[in-house]
Amino acid sequence: MAGAKLLCFVCLCVVILSLTTAQSSRSKPSKTGKGKEDLKNEIDKLWREVNALKEMQALQTVCLKGTKVHKKCYLASKSQKNYHAANEDCIAQGGTLSIPQSADEGNSLRSYAKKSLSGAKDFWIGVNDMTTEGKFVDLNGSPITYVNWDRNEPRGGTRENCAAASIGGQGKWSDEVCRNEKRYICQFLIP
C-alpha cells in the first residue's frame, strides 16, 4: 500500500516536472538560465521529499515487522552478534541499539524481548563505558539519565564495558564482555 502511494507520488512528480519544463520553455525564453535554476531547485526539493517518503516507508515496515511503543519502533535481531557488530547492524537499518529511558520503556522493551528473542536470557542495549571506565554513556557518548542495574552491577571493571538487559528478573542490567555474542533489539525513533 505504502509502495503504491510512493509510486503515485513519483508519477505525480514526473507530471509536475514535465509541466514545469513545458511552461518555462514557453513563457521564459529569455530567462533560460533562471528557468533552469528554478527547475533544478524544484527537482532537488522533490528529491528530498521522495527520500523523506522512502524513510517513512522503511520506518513503517520496521514498525509492522517489530513493535511500536511510545514514540519508538523496536525490531528484534534474528541472530547473535558482538556489541559492535550489533550496533553497526542497527545503524545500517537506520536505527541504533535500543536504550530504555524510563521504567516504562524498560518494561515494554522486556515484554517485546520476551516474545521475540525466544531462548535468550539477555540482550545488548545501547549503553557502554568503553571510553571512560565506570562512566556509562549512550551511543552518542551522552551520560544516561535512567539506569536499571542489577544488584552489584556494573562490576566488570575494564574487562566488561557493554551493557545487557536481562529478559527475566525485571530487565535488570549487567555489564558484559563486548566481544560476547548476544541477541539485540534495534530502536527507530518515529519523527
Instruction: Give contact residues for Ca ion (rule: CB under 5 A).
Output: 129, 161
Cβ–Cβ < 8 Å for 48, 56: no
Closer CB to Ca ion, 105 or 176, in the complex: 176
Residues 5 and 53: their CA atoms lie apart, in Å, by 10
Amino acid at 35: G
Least distance from C-beta 84 to Ca ion, angstroms? 15
How is 130-170 classified by DSSP, letter by letter?
SSSTT--B-TTSPBPS---BPTT-S--GGG--EEEEESSGG
Owner of C-alpha cell 548476544 = 182
Residue at 174: amino acid letter: S
Residue placing its CB nearer to Ca ion in the complex, 30 or 142: 142
CB nearer Ca ion, residue 161 or residue 187: 161
- Say which residues have a Cβ less than 8 Å from residue 46's Cβ, sequence separation at least 6: 13, 16, 17
Residue 134 or residue 169: which is nearer to Ca ion going by CB?
134
Q: Which of 106, 4, 10, 102 is nearest to 51 (CA)?
A: 10
To the nearest whole angstrom, how small is the minimum distance from the Cβ of residue 130 to Ca ion?
Answer: 8
The residue (of 73 and 99) whose beta carbon lies closer to Ca ion is 99
**Which residue carries 529511558 as its cell?**
101
Question: In the complex, what is the shortest distance from the CB of residue 8 to Ca ion, in angstroms, rounded to a whole number?
Answer: 52
Q: How far is the CB of 48 from Ca ion (least distance, A)?
A: 42
Q: How far is the CB of 151 from Ca ion (least distance, A)?
A: 17
